[in-house]
Amino acid sequence: MRIRLYLAALSLVGGAGVATVSAPSASAAACSDIDVVAARGTFEPGTLGLIVGDPVYSALQKKLTGKNLSSYKVNYPADLSLTSAAQGNADLVNHVNRQATTCPNQRFILVGYSQGANVVDNSIGISSAGAVVGSPIVATIPAALESRVAAVLLFGNPIRAIGKSVTGTYQSRTIDFCAKGDPVCEAGGNDTLAHLGYTANADAAATFAAGKV
C-alpha cells in the first residue's frame, strides 16, 4: 500500500506547483571546503534531485557564503528494485572515503530524500531494512570520518513510518523533515501530495546545516 501511494505521488512530479531551480554541478570539485552529497528520491528527476537536492544545494550556497561548496549526486538506480538503496549506500560511503583521502580538510553535508534518506540512513549506521524501498546496511562511514560529517539533512524519511529515527553519533547533527500526512514517513499518512512539498524546507535545512559547519 505505501509503495502504491508513493508512486501516486511521484506521478505528479513535474506538474503544476513544482518549482524549478538552477541546477548545480553533480561532480565534486577537488578539495572544496564542503562537499554536499545528495541521494535523490525514487525516480526523482533533477541534477541532485528536483524536489530536495537542487533547492537545498542552492540554499546552502546562499547560507555558506564564506565556504567553497561542491556537490555529488549519489550514483544508484533510485528505482523499486530490491538492491537499489543498497547500491546507493555503497556508492555514498565509497565517495566519502575517496574524498576524505584526497581532501583531508574537506567536510560533508549528507542530503537524502525519500529512498535517498534510506541511503543516507544506512550510510550512517541506521538500517532502513523493512522500510519502503529500504535495505539492510552494506557499508557505513568509518568512525574516523564521523567528525567530518557536518550535517545530515533528511526529507520524507521512510524509516520514520516504521518507528525508527537517527540516533547515536549523528543525532545532534541531523534534521529530519516529515510533512504531516506524508504516507512515506508517517504511519497511516494519506496525503500523497505532502511527499512532494519538501522544497519548502530547503531554507530551514540550510540554516540548520550552516549552524553545524
Q: Catalytic site residues?
A: 114, 182, 195
Per the CB < 8 A criterion, the answer to whether 156 and 178 are in contact is: yes
Q: Please report the DSSP string for 149-182 in residue order.
A: EEEEEEES-GGGGGT----GGGGGGEEEE--TT-
d(CA 137, CA 6): 22
d(CA 197, CA 191): 11
d(CA 42, CA 97): 25
Rg for the chain (alpha carbons), in Å? 15
Q: What is the 8-class DSSP label of residue 30?
A: T
* Sheet of 149-155, strand order: 69-73, 34-39, 107-113, 149-155, 174-177
Q: What is the 8-class DSSP label of residue 193?
A: G
**Residue length, the chain?**
213
